A = this chain, B = another copy of it.
Amino acid sequence: MLRKEYDHIILLAHGSPDPLWKEPFESLYQQVSKVYGDGNVSLAYMELTSPSLEDVVAGLKGDFNTVAVLPLFLAVGRHLRHDVPKQIDALQRENLRIELLPPIGDDSLVKEAMQTVIANHLGKV
């Protein structure tokens, strides 16, 4: 698949009132930032959990041309159609263009992995 590459990716998870909920997202972020550097990847939450997207964008250091927000969501609903684009619009600056990517669950690699997990549970793989 041909992909555009980005200088910095902000992983954006939903957020939850449950403090334990964020653990898998923190863990994913730790894994990725350990390999690719925490200058290349950040983690933010849409609501209820900090840091917010606004906090993370305010804290970005360095000269980035292309920053992308990659939603750690499985599907597009009103959050990704309305709330997140509105948050991003408010954060655009002349020297910092932020692009919203499709949700990670939309990627064929994640879809294929989910199909395999289901097949494994059925004992079919």
Tallying the copies of this chain within the complex gives: 2
A28 at the B interface (CB under 8 A): yes
Q: Determine whether A47 belongs to the interface, using a CB cutoff of 8 Å to chain B.
A: no
| CB–CB B114/A36 < 8 A | no
Map CB proximity to B onto A86-111 as digits: 1 under 8 Å, 0 otherwise: 00000000000000010011110111
- Decide: A16 and B117 in contact? CB cutoff 8 A: no
A46 contacts which chain B residues (CB < 8 A)?
none
Question: Chain B contacts of A104 at CB under 8 A?
Answer: 114, 117-118
Q: Does A56 contact B (CB under 8 A)?
A: no
Given A5-B122, A107-B117, A75 and B32 touching (CB < 8 A)?
no
Known: A28-B111, A113-B107. A9 touches B118 (CB 8 A): yes
Q: Which residue of B lies closest to A109 (CB)?
A: B113
Task: Answer yes or no: A53 CB below 8 A from chain B CBs.
Answer: no
A9-55 interface with B by 8 A CB criterion = 9, 11, 13, 16-18, 20-25, 28, 31-32, 35-36, 40-41
Residues of A within 8 A of B (CB): 1, 3, 5-6, 9, 11, 13, 16-18, 20-25, 28, 31-32, 35-36, 40-41, 68, 70, 72-78, 81, 101, 104-107, 109-124
